[in-house]
Structure 1
Amino acid sequence: MTSSKKWKKFSPETLQLLFTAVDEDDIVNQDATLPEVIDFNCTQENINDNYALCLQFWEDGFDRPELLGLVRKLARGNGFTEAERMQYKYIRARYKHLRFAQRLYSKSHMSSSMFRQTTVFLGHFQDAFRNRNKKNISRYSMILYMYLSFPCWKLVHYGLRHPELDTVSGFIADRQQQILTLRQLIAKPLLTGTEFHDVRKIISQQVSYYDTLRSIDPGNLDAYKISRFLSNINGLMGDRHDVMVADKLSGRRPYEEPALLDDNIRQPLELLLERCPV
């Protein structure tokens, strides 16, 4: 099995633009604005190029021994230096961005099972070492050893290089469906924890699209504006979700108890829906 498919390659400058965009995609900036209309039109070249950049961002950003070395260090009871903590954070960010790309651009609009699971377990492992949970560090390091083993790595890599990408009409229809789902959720006065998380997943996926678009075409001011606007919502929802999880762990409030959506989140979401052509 070889990863022989040829994908377009982008310059180091474009990769750095994407790194910057991804690093900003949860920064709160309530002064961010939107264009009057959000244009969903695109071309097949846009879809192919966007996926190619996300793939290169993942492939060129680290290698398997590097990630395994970080996992082994913690599993042996050693802590990370600040540089290693950031190194791990950015590797996981590359996984998440490519997982969003699979959901956005593939015909199935799903992330492949093994890659999705690896991304999830990288997140659980990060939670474990942040909370100094030795039991979970040991548990998830063993799982990651399996997922990062050479045979699994080759299988995952092959799948990432050989997706069936969607057509323009299919891609646009999927984005429109996400907006319709978002509209249905936001119409509710109260949201459960799961519904709140569903809203955030849609926003995170859409910000990843505009992060990639603005990196390939730095002159696309609409893409930049939408990216920053969605990043503000993403950051606000992330902060709110941290509070929800803390309340659940402390017993103050069940995660699934319906709650009002904060106005500083609801208002930009409603403006986003007004500007979308659905």
Structure 2
Amino acid sequence: MIFKTRLKTFSAQAVELLLTALDEDDRIGDASGLPATLAAPCTQATIEDNYALCLQLWEQGFTRRELRALVRKVLRGATLTEAEGMRYKSIRARFKHLRFAQRLYRRQHDSTRLFKLITVFLGHFQDGFRYGNDQTLRLYGTLLTVLLSRPLWALMRCTLRHTRLDNLPGFMRHCQQQMHELRTLSMKPQLTGSEFHDVRKIISQQVSYYDTLRSLYPADRQAYQTSRFLANINGLMGQRHDGMVADKLAGRRHYDTPDALDAAISQQLRLLTEHASQGLVPV
């Protein structure tokens, strides 16, 4: 399927529910377990509706000019206010969620190139001002001011609205491949930084699927419970990743140095892959 200009539009309530889910998608503490029954079966309509809601969330609520102004303020050496910092984080969350949607639902299972670059650079730029690394700030801030220009923004928005989505068998095959990769990596005694990042990408994509699903179908308690379970893993891995990035920028430890997964993360990953192999979660 190729989306045309007119996309399905969802209610403000669905968008607000998705924003709430994004606020919780790395919250630690809700490890009550996975549901004993499946969430609503995924259909072709689920794929199309999920992508449309993710795109609607990205398109609404901020402007290119606003984001570019935040980047330029930091580049000038000013410090973002607390409200501006939260705003930047919220905008970046919308980028990340749509990038996960592209990886999940597009036929290529990857982001469009320009959108991918901006999303990655937003993360590096945030690391720069979070950890006080001026070299990182200057590099990625300069790149972002170019990529956030009006012509490139229009081109990017066009590609987002006209993209080929995968069919249901292809989507399910992609998710099964992810679970196989997750199972293989989680069984290794140590992971490099790149392998750890690969595990986190899979978890982030899966939590994004259930975040969107629970927003479209608020009565689906299985989707909500799976979303919260995955968010706990995502939060634990996020804490670990923050430490890895801080060590890298401070020159204390190379990012790709092999290390064992924390016991809490390993336990939750094993539970997830066991449920997936038994067909208790639809991924």
The TM-score, its normalising length taken from structure 2, stands at 0.92
Corresponding residue number in structure 2 for 1:103: 103
- Superposed counterparts of 1:22-61, under 5 Å: 22-38=22-38, 41-61=41-61
247-256 or 102-111: bigger deviation: 247-256
Corresponding residue number in structure 2 for 1:93: 93
Change in Cα spacing, 1:151 to 1:254, as seen in structure 2 (3 Å) is: closer
Structure 1 residue 248: Cα displacement:
4.3
Q: Say whether the 8 Å CA contact 1:32–1:232 is kept in structure 2.
A: no
Which amino acid is 2:17 matched to? L
Change in Cα spacing, 1:10 to 1:40, as seen in structure 2 (3 Å) is: closer
Corresponding residue number in structure 2 for 1:170: 170
Which amino acid is 1:151 matched to? P
Structure 1 residue 196: Cα displacement:
1.3
Segments of structure 2 that go 5 or more residues without pairing to the other structure are: none
Change in Cα spacing, 1:75 to 1:60, as seen in structure 2 (3 Å) is: same
Root-mean-square deviation (CA), in Å?
1.9
Encode CA deviations 1:194-251: one digit per residue, 9 max, x unaligned.
1111111100110001000000000111110110000000101111222333444556
Q: Say whether the 8 Å CA contact 1:36–1:275 is kept in structure 2.
A: no
Q: Say whether the 8 Å CA contact 2:8–2:52 is kept in structure 1.
A: yes
Corresponding residue number in structure 2 for 1:262: 262
Q: Say whether the 8 Å CA contact 2:92–2:119 is kept in structure 1.
A: yes
Rounded to whole Å, the distance in 2 between the matches of 1:127 and 1:244 is 11
Matched, 1:219 2:223: no
Q: Say whether the 8 Å CA contact 1:28–1:235 is kept in structure 2.
A: yes
Q: Say whether the 8 Å CA contact 2:30–2:228 is kept in structure 1.
A: no
Rounded to whole Å, the distance in 2 between the matches of 1:103 and 1:143 is 23
Q: Say whether the 8 Å CA contact 1:40–1:172 is kept in structure 2.
A: no
Q: Say whether the 8 Å CA contact 1:61–1:94 is kept in structure 2.
A: no
Corresponding residue number in structure 1 for 2:127: 127
Change in Cα spacing, 1:258 to 1:135, as seen in structure 2 (3 Å) is: closer
133-142 or 218-227: bigger deviation: 133-142
108-117 or 60-69: bigger deviation: 60-69
Q: Say whether the 8 Å CA contact 1:37–1:275 is kept in structure 2.
A: no
Rounded to whole Å, the distance in 2 between the matches of 1:6 and 1:243 is 43
Rounded to whole Å, the distance in 2 between the matches of 1:264 and 1:37 is 24
Corresponding residue number in structure 1 for 2:62: 62
Which amino acid is 2:64 matched to? R
Rounded to whole Å, the distance in 2 between the matches of 1:58 and 1:198 is 24
Identity of aligned residues (%): 57
Structure 1 residue 128: Cα displacement:
1.6
Change in Cα spacing, 1:43 to 1:143, as seen in structure 2 (3 Å) is: same
Rounded to whole Å, the distance in 1 between the matches of 2:261 and 2:75 is 39
Change in Cα spacing, 1:159 to 1:142, as seen in structure 2 (3 Å) is: same
Q: Say whether the 8 Å CA contact 2:37–2:222 is kept in structure 1.
A: no
- Superposed counterparts of 1:114-153, under 5 Å: 114-153=114-153
Segments of structure 1 that go 5 or more residues without pairing to the other structure are: none
158-167 or 70-79: bigger deviation: 70-79
Rounded to whole Å, the distance in 1 between the matches of 2:253 and 2:81 is 35
SS at match of 2:36: coil
Change in Cα spacing, 1:72 to 1:247, as seen in structure 2 (3 Å) is: closer
Q: Say whether the 8 Å CA contact 1:207–1:227 is kept in structure 2.
A: yes
Which amino acid is 1:175 matched to? C
Rounded to whole Å, the distance in 2 between the matches of 1:71 and 1:249 is 20
SS at match of 2:269: helix
Structure 1 residue 41: Cα displacement:
3.6
Encode CA deviations 1:46-84: one digit per residue, 9 max, x unaligned.
011000000000000211111111112222222111111
Corresponding residue number in structure 2 for 1:185: 185
SS at match of 2:66: helix
Which amino acid is 2:202 matched to? I
Which amino acid is 1:153 matched to? W
The TM-score, its normalising length taken from structure 1, stands at 0.93
Change in Cα spacing, 1:72 to 1:260, as seen in structure 2 (3 Å) is: closer
Structure 1 residue 30: Cα displacement:
4.5
Change in Cα spacing, 1:253 to 1:175, as seen in structure 2 (3 Å) is: same
SS at match of 1:259: coil
